[in-house]
Chains A and B, each alone.
Chain A
Amino acid sequence: MLPLARLIDRALGPVNGPLETGRSPPFWLIFLGVVAVLVIAPSFLSRYELLNFSNFLTNIFLALGLCLIWGYAGILSLGQSAFLGLGGYAYGVVGINLIEAHGNTWLALLAGLGFPVLVAALLGWIMFYARLKGVYVAILMLVVTLLIETFLNQTAGQGWSIGLAHLGGNNGLGRFSGVIREPPSLTLGFSADAMMIFGGKTRAFYYLIVGLGVVSYLGLRALVNSRLGHVLVAIREDPDRTETLGYDVRRLQLGVFCLSALLASLSGILYVSWGNFITPNVFGVYYNILPVIWVAVAGRKSLTATVLGAVFLVWLSQKLAIQGDIAFVVLGFILLGGMMLLPEGVITGIGERIGRLFDRLGIGAATRGGRHGG
Chain B
Amino acid sequence: MAAEPLLETRAVSKRFGGVQAVSEVSLKLAPGELRCIIGPNGAGKSTLFKLLLGSIAPDEGTIHFQGRDVTRLQPHERAHLGIGVKFQNLAVYNALTVRHNLLLPLRHQFGSREVEDEIARLLARLNLVGTEDRLVGSLAHGQKQWLAIGMALAMRPKLLLLDEPTAGMGTEESSATGALIQAVTAEGVGAIVVEHDMAFVRELKAPVTVLHYGRVFAEGSFAAIEAHEEVRRIYLGAARSERPRRLRNRQP
Contacts and interface: CB of A to CB of B under 8 A. Distances in A.
Interface of A: 18-19, 227, 230-231, 233-234, 236-238, 240-249, 301, 369, 371-372
A126 to B, nearest CB: 17
B151 interface: yes
Contacts of B53: 244
Interface of B: 53, 55, 74-76, 78-80, 83-85, 87, 91, 93-97, 99-100, 103-105, 107-108, 133, 135, 151-152, 155
B84 A233 contact: no
Contacts of A242: 104
B76 A243 contact: yes
B104 A372 contact: no
A371 B133 CA distance: 6
Contact of A243 (B74, B97, B108, B135): B74
A247 B106 CA distance: 12
B128 to A, nearest CB: 16
Contacts, number: 72
A227 B107 contact: yes
B87 A246 contact: no
Nearest to B78: A244
B75 A238 contact: no
Nearest to A231: B104
Contacts of B74: 243, 248
Contacts of A248: 74, 76
Contacts of B104: 230-231, 234, 242, 245, 247
Nearest to B101: A234
Contacts of A244: 53, 75-76, 78-79, 83-85, 87, 152
Given A241-B87, A241-B91, A234 B96 contact: yes
Contacts of B152: 244
Q: Is the interface of A mostly helix, strand, loop or mixed?
A: helix
Nearest to B93: A237
B239 to A, nearest CB: 28
A372 B76 contact: no
Contacts of B151: 245
A230 B99 CA distance: 11
B155 A245 contact: yes
Given A237-B95, A246-B80, 7 more contacts: A18-B97, A19-B95, A236-B95, A240-B87, A243-B79, A244-B84, A248-B76
**3 residue pairs, one from A and one from B, having the closest CB atoms:** A244-B85, A241-B91, A243-B75
Contacts of B78: 244
A135 B108 CA distance: 31
Nearest to B83: A244
A238 B93 contact: yes
Nearest to A245: B105
Contacts of A243: 55, 74-76, 79
Contacts of A238: 91, 93
Given A234-B93, A238-B91, A246 B133 contact: no
A236 B96 CA distance: 12
Contacts of A249: 76
14 contacts: A18-B135, A227-B103, A227-B107, A233-B93, A234-B96, A241-B93, A243-B74, A243-B75, A243-B76, A244-B79, A245-B79, A301-B95, A369-B135, A372-B97
